Chain A
Amino acid sequence: MSQPLLEVDELCVDFALPQGTVPAVKRISYRIEAGETLALVGESGSGKSVSSTAAMGLLPDLARTRGAIRFEGEDLLAAAPKRLRRLRGNDIAMIFQEPMTSLNPLHRIGRQIAEVLERHRGLRGRAARPRVQELLEQVGIPEPARRIDSYPHELSGGQRQRVMIAMALACEPKLLIADEPTTALDVTVQAQILALLKDLQRRYGMAILFITHDLGIVRHFADRVCVMRQGELVESGETAALFAAPQHDYTRMLIDAEPRGRKTAVAEDAPLLLEARDLRVSFALKKRLFRPNAYFEAVRGIDLSIRRGQTVGIVGESGSGKSTLGRALLRLLDSRGDIRFDDAALDGLDASAMRPLRSRMQVVFQDPFGSLSPRMTVGEIVGEGLRVHAPELGHRERDIRVQEALRDVALDPAMRHRYPHEFSGGQRQRIAIARALVLKPEFLLLDEPTSALDRSVQATVIELLRDLQRRHGLTYLFISHDLAVVRALADTVLVMKQGEIVERGDTETLFQAPREAYTRELMRAAFLDDDAA
């Protein structure tokens, strides 16, 4: 057998932390041939990024490695730092998950790309410019001659990721390591970036090590897949074979973790709970001294009605105004237009007039890490709303209600004396849901509640939300950019684009026969695996 391009051989990486040694990767082995695509799939904490970071020689100082990583036969773990710097950006290039922060905000993008050429090709100043422009064109940046002098903040997330790719390709590397390159991007942009990577791979004949938590993307992208869990490689094989007949329970679980189930629609004559007419929200862009302020209209005249027991899903790309709409409906943002909640007009109510209604309409946010106060115990967080809305409750009664709410979201009530940092992302999201539920609301705004979670955790949270709705007769407004999740949870879907609703309908009809071009584009991007090529 010929020599592989990259061979990871019995690699062990431990982190020597003050509180003891923590193994990150346990004796994993895999190989990548020239020109092929290998996907390394695993959930957060599985150690999937560790081996590639080790290959680049970019592990933190407290990492201890054993085994070998051979690039064209040369052991990278034993290589001198100087030798590694020659390889990095030249033979092995890397793109990262965070396009928004991976570029230096103070340098023009052209200069940042040229820097790679200067380092490895000795091209200085203007000599690098034609090549940089060519690279920008190849990665699909419009008007490369002008964009070459842009700063990163003048580009969108997708464009910044394209710049990162251009930078990685500058020296035509033999291996491109792509660490979650599309996770932070909208589905449509994700589809474009994946297509671009495929195209460039064909053109340059490079191998790609694709690291992701999303098994769905990998299906049509990778030649082979390695599945990692808790630092171990549990299964690897040809992509098609692995999807057709997963051997390991964990792989099967990951494949099954794609959201499932459907919500049945409520009766046509179910009473209306929340209604909005011609709802508009605008933000002042800049305040001007002598001229009227400039405004950006984020929500542009939306009508909507939600019946009791319904789950209305709102989908759309980032910036489409879906979160703004949700917040305006709960009067967390100022808006124009009528809003009625169970026959009470909400528009024009001030904060104190809204307060009694707040217990009936609650909200769960996306970020389970930022939304819980780190200085309060879980019991205090969950019980805080009761102090406001049910001040008559004594300490003991409040504690009972808190325990009930925690049991409702399948958490052990004994955990209420702990602090949020002791919980995982999925558990924290359950706490956030318990915090809303303790007030016995009728209406729950769920703003991307599963987006920050791993797929398998996501599935359990979706199950929980479904179960709670059944037991408590809740009504949901579910905001998500993830169409698969919306399909599993909602009975009615609204598609938003630039502050307007472009299409609405019951979930199955809309997913099976979308009428609008924009909806179709969104679907195609989201279900990469369904329209199998």
Chain B
Amino acid sequence: MLSYAFKRLLQAIPTLLIVITLAFFLMRVAPGGPFDGERALPPDIEANLMAAYHLDEPLPQQYLRYLGDLLQGDFGPSFKYKDFSVTDLIQQGFPVSLEIGGLAILLALALGLPLGVIAALKRNSAVDYAVMGTALAGIAIPNFVVAPLLALVFGVILSWLPAGGWNGGALPNLVLPVLALSIQQIAYIARIMRASMIEVLGSHYIRTARAKGLSERLVVWRHAIRPALLPVVSYLGPAIAGIITGSVVIEQIFGIPGIGRYFVQGALNRDYTLVMGTVVFYGALIVLLNLIVDLLYSALDPQIRYDD
């Protein structure tokens, strides 16, 4: 299994290289630059700045220089947040993003799985239709619509919770962003769990379990839920990616100082190194989490063993 993990990490290198290359050149194709402002800088100062950050070099050379720095673990300085390196900013922002992202995925599982199981057990009943109908709405409405709506209703009209801000991660400040981030995933997970549960309940080994004289409760808990979880586990990879990309929007809307907000502001400011840093960091994170999900899969299903 170790050699499998090693191989997967090796395979991640070309993936990340493609991500880096695309991000690097797309960023440079976008009009404007990091030192453009309301008031144009005197040409000699701008030239000095460009030289200091090696922006005067030909693009391929800058690209190779960036790759070289990256290999040494150096994400470079931020162009806009003076005195901060990109690494500093990621170190500041990541714990915050991790907290709301992690909570969102936990909430998605904690609500999505039971809803899916209940809908499957009460198939074609009013309960099933209600759960699945709500789930469909949850999938259809994008989080950049859900988030302001939540803020408006619970933050402004009802004034139950703060409509934005971080406040050092106080619980009331967490509720709305985590909810906004997880609604879509709750819906997806409930639907996947329902479908896979229905399939498992119709399988031959469930018939065997019933033929043994087990109670329905045991049949469901012991024999149906674990195999039904497998498709959900394989969905966790995309789910995590969805939460990460979703957090970019949500952090901006609720004013949360996570990586997502740096990313959006970096992109608006043409802060090349900051955008590149967050892209590389999130890219690596998604690859790593996907690997963990796959290893988790083999822990759940004995038929999948990663040797060699």
Contact = CB atoms under 8 A, between A and B. Distances in A.
A324 B75 CA distance: 55
Contact of B300 (A58, A94, A106, A153): A106
Contacts of B222: 115
Nearest to B304: A153
Nearest to A294: B308
Contact of B223 (A101, A104, A116): A104
B122 interface: no
Contact of A151 (B210, B213, B303): B303
A194 to B, nearest CB: 21
Given A164-B208, A289-B7, A105 B302 contact: yes
A124 to B, nearest CB: 14
Interface in A85-123: 85-90, 93-94, 96, 98, 101-107, 115-116, 119-120
A167 interface: yes
A146 interface: no
Given A58-B207, A103-B205, A119 B212 contact: yes
A119 B212 CA distance: 8
A196 B301 CA distance: 31
A107 B225 CA distance: 12
A230 to B, nearest CB: 25
A52 B205 CA distance: 18
A85 B219 CA distance: 12
B204 A98 contact: yes
Contact of B213 (A88, A98, A104, A107): A88
Contacts of B203: 101
B208 A102 contact: yes
Given A104-B223, A153-B302, A116 B205 contact: no
B193 to A, nearest CB: 16
B226 A85 contact: no
B211 A89 contact: yes
Given A105-B301, A106-B227, A120 B205 contact: no
Contacts of B214: 85, 89, 115, 119
B125 interface: no
Contact of B211 (A56, A98, A120): A56
Given A56-B211, A96-B207, A103-B208, A288 B308 contact: yes
Nearest to A286: B308
A104 B227 contact: yes
Interface in B8-62: none
A113 B214 CA distance: 12
Contacts of B205: 101-105
B32 to A, nearest CB: 45
A167 to B, nearest CB: 7
Interface string B273-308: 000000000000000000000000000111100011
A264 to B, nearest CB: 45
B215 interface: yes
B209 interface: yes
B300 A88 contact: no
Contacts of B307: 286
B188 to A, nearest CB: 23
Interface of A: 56, 58, 84-90, 93-94, 96, 98, 101-107, 115-116, 119-120, 151, 153, 164, 167, 286, 288-289
Nearest 5 interchain pairs by C-beta: A88-B213, A89-B213, A89-B212, A101-B204, A104-B205
23 contacts: A58-B211, A84-B213, A85-B213, A85-B214, A85-B215, A87-B213, A88-B211, A88-B212, A89-B211, A93-B211, A96-B204, A101-B203, A101-B204, A102-B205, A102-B207, A104-B205, A104-B223, A105-B301, A106-B301, A115-B209, A119-B214, A164-B208, A289-B308
Given A89-B214, A120-B213, 9 more contacts: A89-B211, A96-B208, A105-B205, A105-B227, A105-B301, A105-B303, A106-B226, A115-B222, A116-B212
